[in-house]
Amino acid sequence: MSRIRIIPVLLLRKGGLYKTVRFKNAAYVGDPINTVKIFNEKEADELVVLDYNASLDGSAIDYKKITEIAGEAFMPMGYGGGIKTLEDAKKVFDAGYEKVVLNSILFNDISLIEKIGHIYGAQAVVCAIDVKKNLFGKYKTYSHSGTKSTNWTPVEWVKQLEANGAGEILLNSIEQDGTWGGYDLELVKLVAPAIGIPLIVCGGAGNTGDFIKAVQTGASAVAAGSMFVYQKKGMGVLISFPTGFSI
């Protein structure tokens, strides 16, 4: 049996934690500090914190808040949101994070991957892509929290990211986000064979069976949000984590 790498993804906005459904209808779920403390107790493998509105509204990174969050964590942490320059990335690493997550900025400056990787190593650079189908049923990659179509297919874009030094890919299905309906396995089947670096899939997990299906389809690791912050779909907030889960 092999252990599955499981990553809770926490959405940060103005100091609080939120959860979206298909990247919309953000609902407040709690305080990030208390949430990280609970994930410490439950021995989560690692955490990813994303300020999902930073690129959309152009807000500055809240270094004070993300430093406080990292200071409570006993596990590796990744941060994304509003990172536009090497200096931004340096400040995130100095705040206590092992990885940076890059997304929208890469459509304007893909060289940022190599700049960061040259100093901190490729393993410290996670490139996130947000994907949904267009009106013709074709997968397209979106930027700025899913609001702007880039005309890149996910396969084309992940190949570009890997060629420019990405250490990992975080593949997020916009249509499955927050639905509890399972990962988009069709999308995983397309992307996984196209790259030789780890693929983390996110968007739609509703139970541990979804983790197994994703890994069997080609994912290297799995990430989720709603499943870890709610009791069940449509029910109240309850932080949880499936410790020691393997296949």
Return the axis-axis angle of helices 63-72 and 32-41, rounded to nearest 10°: 20
DSSP E strands, 94-220: 99-102, 125-133, 139-143, 148-149, 168-173, 199-202
User: Is 130 among the catalytic positions?
Assistant: yes
DSSP E strands, the chain: 6-13, 16-21, 24-30, 47-51, 77-80, 99-102, 125-133, 139-143, 148-149, 168-173, 199-202, 221-224
Strand partners, 50: 11, 80
Q: Which residue has the tokens 């790259």?
A: 195
Residue tagged active-site, from 31, 57, 109, 130: 130
Residue (of 217, 229, 239) closest to 4 by Cα position: 217
Q: Taking CA 69 as the corner, what is the angle to CA 102 and CA 11, rounded to the nearest 5 degrees?
A: 50
Residues taking part in catalysis: 130
